[in-house]
Structure 1
Amino acid sequence: MSKWKIYTPEGVQDILFNECYLKRNLEVKLRSIFRSSGYQEIETPTFEFYDVFSEDSDMTPQENMFKFFDQQGRILVLRPEMTIPVARISATKCKDISVPVRYSYIGNTFNYNELGGGKQKEFTQAGIEMVGVNTPEADAEVIATAITAVKAMGLESFQIDIGQVEFFKGLMEEAGIADNDIEQMRVLIDRKDFLGVEELVKGQDIKEDLKELIFSLPRLFGSIDVIEKVEKITLNKRSLNALNNLRKVLQILDDYGYSKYVSVDLGMVRSLNYYTGIIFRGFTYGAGFPILSGGRYDSLVGKFGKSTPAIGFSLGVNMIMIALDRQKIDTEKPKIDTLVCYMNEGRKAAFKVAQELRRQGLAVEIDVACQGVEQLKGYAASKKIGGIILIKDDENIEIHNLETGEASKVTFAELIRHD
């Protein structure tokens, strides 16, 4: 037998009964949240042309993608994320739909370097995208939907950190920092590397108050008071507009009743080429990485032929499952309510009983191993099945309650009428 025949490759996993049951239930809850908010579901191909993702190397470096070739020698990739395919669809097949267009999706994505801390190379992303509108109301709705989704999946202790990349771009513009240094600055600030930021700023000819503000960027997080503190320092119009936009979004989220879940992080400066305004990430304890991330990306759809604003978020379903487990949050497990067995004379009645109980919403197994009741009790106990129904014929039916050990007799008509 081949050495690798019984194994799965590194970074992928089998998801068995309880976990798969939980995962599907979480997906049902997410789908319900998205639909109820007007986001219509789409499904994009599992693999696409490499060109679709090659435009934004900041977000999807080519070394992170699983690549292969079609028969014509063209490069294909397993989709590394879902937002870019939505942007492609928005600029092509949905370009004439009245805006805003609200998309939702749930599907597996693939990233070669996503490994460790609970991450896998194949993982399920769920999310929404709103295309065609750029307002604080749109930004707040997407963030509020993310919060609603996390709550619906059973988490209550989590936080959404919100930043504004235009604030950072304005500071860099006012400071006159060169483009090649801006990217280095962005990486250092996003990592909260205080010493690295200080070393880079020291070598720049920047006025002292602006230099101090840049120094403090990694520490500028907390409540809305952070915005008011920063506004007291003279800033350029671009940065002030960004802070004003952020304040409006926070005020709207307060009206949603979601202020306790959000905080400001002006030191959050993710990909500057991809994001154009509000950005956010969700965290909870027990997960070593963000459980969700999102932001405004007004330039992305235009790369596919139609310039239009957009904002969205994606959530890691597998990461949520890890958080639920580590936080010891009770989740529903699959169960079988009843096991039906029969003698030859009662076979037809047994099928009718099983069908009726299933119609009523119960999970019912039929004994196909043709064992006796005593043998079935051990099997039922191992699967935590509460009872066995033995159907001898239409008039002789025994109900065995395995929790109490009691047995009772009923007719077919009594059993159906009773249930």
Structure 2
Amino acid sequence: MKHLIHTPEGVRDIFGRECDKKRYLERKIEKKFRGFGYQSIETPSFEFFDVFSKEVGTIPSANLYKFFDREGNTLVLRPDFTPSVARAAAMYFSEEKDPLRLCYHGNVYRNNSSYQGRLYECTQMGVEFLNEDSPEADAEVIALVIQTMKEAGLSNYQVTIGHVDYFDALAEEAQLDEDVIAELKHLLSIQNRFGMQELIEGLGLRRDLQTALCTIPELFGNVDVLDRAAECVRNDKALSAIDRLKKIYSILEAYGCERSVTFDLGMITSYAYYTGIILSAYTFGTGDAIIKGGRYDDLLGHFGKKAPAVGFAVEIDSLLNALDRQNVQLPIADIKTMILYPSYMEHIAIRMATDQRSKGLDIACVRFEEDKVLDHYRAYGSRNQFGGIIYMRSPEEAYAINLGNNEVVKTDISAYLHE
């Protein structure tokens, strides 16, 4: 029995129409990024371990693919684009003080637990807006998130926005230790309100702080929830976070996309490098967010350039799954043409193919084997995304076959009979 080598767990092959859909979607998203003035950047698939170390605040070390080079340096397959782009920006744009817009496209690699059911290799596209700490920059990134989902073909989606300073300010005021903070964040992330309330009530905090912390899971909804959040605190840092969110919302109204936004003051992120707003975009058909991002004003400083920044990443594979489950049809057409010829007409077929390719058409030459019949090549064409066949039966007789509706018409190939 022939032994077939399959892919490892967590990775997969993509081909045919699915691959065409993915490429089409990627081109549309890149065009949208460029429409906002972002320029492309590529970073290596692997970096030194320090780029993704615990101090940077990306995913845990246990989820990294690590290996060694010949000199003994620890290298890591890229699990997250943002630290890579931050490292590159610190190298090549160290003296740039004006706003810098970068966009990227590539694969990331995460050694997830097998029970999570997630791919270990997935494709991301995203943007990073550097050297700008303003509500306007935050709003631009959020507006681009919304327009990206719309451009992809989604009609039902929501962007949820939070701010890390709201929870952090209350935790600082309450002087909570790291273990308690970590447990509270975990309970918030799994929306365990009762567990959170029980933990807070056992801390012996001031009544107003206890109430403010216990109220965090309820601070979810439209822009009105920001006023309620402000009523719960007297902390300047928390109030400043709410004021920032209100300014962002006002700018989003100018973009005309405020209806796609909700707020969640209890939103928690696993990335420790975020310092301001955080966002997650959801749609039907996926359990997790298809776009995540936020503000990270200290990350570039880790690589030697003190600069604020905000950005997001689109999970392309998750987005494709959502489109499929919502029955959103991407306009992928079978436009390749097969020139089917007997062996003695090879030069004629090549001349015709060369001419048609020069006109921008996608042409493949296929020799008609003597032991095959025409129906074999019809089926072959349908399986491999050909839209039609030019069947050269003889120099005097040729037919154009439409594989979509099986229409057959006689066609003239006399222009290619002689050089």
> Which residue of 2 is the match for residue 276 of structure 1?
275
The answer (yes or no) to whether the contact 1:119–1:319 under 8 Å persists in 2 is no
> Which residue of 1 is the match for residue 380 of structure 2?
379
The superposition leaves residues 369-388 of structure 1 with CA deviations (integer Å, 9 ceiling, x where unpaired) of 44565653443455564543
1:110-129 residue pairs with structure 2 within 5 A?
A: 110-113=109-112, 115=114, 119-129=118-128
> Which residue of 1 is the match for residue 288 of structure 2?
289
Shift of 1:248: 0.8
> Which residue of 2 is the match for residue 241 of structure 1?
240
Provide the identity percentage: 38
Q: Any gaps of 5 or more consecutive residues in structure 1?
A: 415-419
Shift of 1:115: 4.7
Distance 1:387 1:18 in 2: 16
1:72-91 residue pairs with structure 2 within 5 A?
A: 72-91=71-90
Shift of 1:363: 3.0
> 405, 408, 411: which one pairs with 2:410?
408
SS of 1:320's equivalent in the other structure is helix
Name the CA shift for 1:357/1:178 in 2 (closer, same or farther; >3 Å): same
The answer (yes or no) to whether the contact 1:118–1:322 under 8 Å persists in 2 is no
Give the TM-score taking structure 1 as reference length. 0.90
- Greater shift, 320-329 or 159-168, is seen at 320-329
Distance 2:311 2:46 in 1: 21
SS of 2:160's equivalent in the other structure is strand
> Which residue of 2 is the match for residue 264 of structure 1?
263
Shift of 1:235: 1.6
> Which residue of 2 is the match for residue 176 of structure 1?
175
Name the CA shift for 1:128/1:409 in 2 (closer, same or farther; >3 Å): closer
- Greater shift, 165-174 or 237-246, is seen at 165-174
The answer (yes or no) to whether the contact 2:56–2:299 under 8 Å persists in 1 is no
SS of 1:92's equivalent in the other structure is helix
Distance 1:209 1:22 in 2: 53
The answer (yes or no) to whether the contact 1:126–1:317 under 8 Å persists in 2 is yes
Name the CA shift for 1:60/1:2 in 2 (closer, same or farther; >3 Å): farther
> Which residue of 1 is the match for residue 205 of structure 2?
206
> Which residue of 1 is the match for residue 158 of structure 2?
159
The answer (yes or no) to whether the contact 1:140–1:252 under 8 Å persists in 2 is yes
Shift of 1:337: 4.2
SS of 2:292's equivalent in the other structure is strand
The answer (yes or no) to whether the contact 1:336–1:365 under 8 Å persists in 2 is no
Shift of 1:22: 1.3
> Which residue of 2 is the match for residue 48 of structure 1?
47
SS of 1:367's equivalent in the other structure is strand
> Which residue of 1 is the match for residue 185 of structure 2?
186
- Greater shift, 338-347 or 72-81, is seen at 338-347
Shift of 1:230: 2.1
Distance 2:65 2:34 in 1: 31
Distance 1:106 1:83 in 2: 12
Distance 2:176 2:407 in 1: 79
Shift of 1:34: 1.4
SS of 2:98's equivalent in the other structure is coil
Distance 1:220 1:278 in 2: 15
SS of 1:134's equivalent in the other structure is coil
Shift of 1:408: 2.2
Residues 1:353 and 2:355 are matched in the alignment: no
The answer (yes or no) to whether the contact 1:286–1:323 under 8 Å persists in 2 is yes
Name the CA shift for 1:117/1:175 in 2 (closer, same or farther; >3 Å): closer
Output the aligned Cα RMSD: 2.6
Give the residue type in structure 1 aligned to 2:307: T
> Which residue of 1 is the match for residue 399 of structure 2?
398
Distance 1:58 1:309 in 2: 16
Shift of 1:33: 1.3
Give the residue type in structure 2 aligned to 1:355: T
- Greater shift, 87-96 or 385-394, is seen at 385-394
The answer (yes or no) to whether the contact 1:347–1:391 under 8 Å persists in 2 is no
Name the CA shift for 1:35/1:405 in 2 (closer, same or farther; >3 Å): closer
Name the CA shift for 1:261/1:359 in 2 (closer, same or farther; >3 Å): farther
Distance 1:273 1:170 in 2: 15
Shift of 1:198: 0.8
The answer (yes or no) to whether the contact 1:118–1:319 under 8 Å persists in 2 is no
SS of 2:367's equivalent in the other structure is coil
Q: Any gaps of 5 or more consecutive residues in structure 2?
A: none
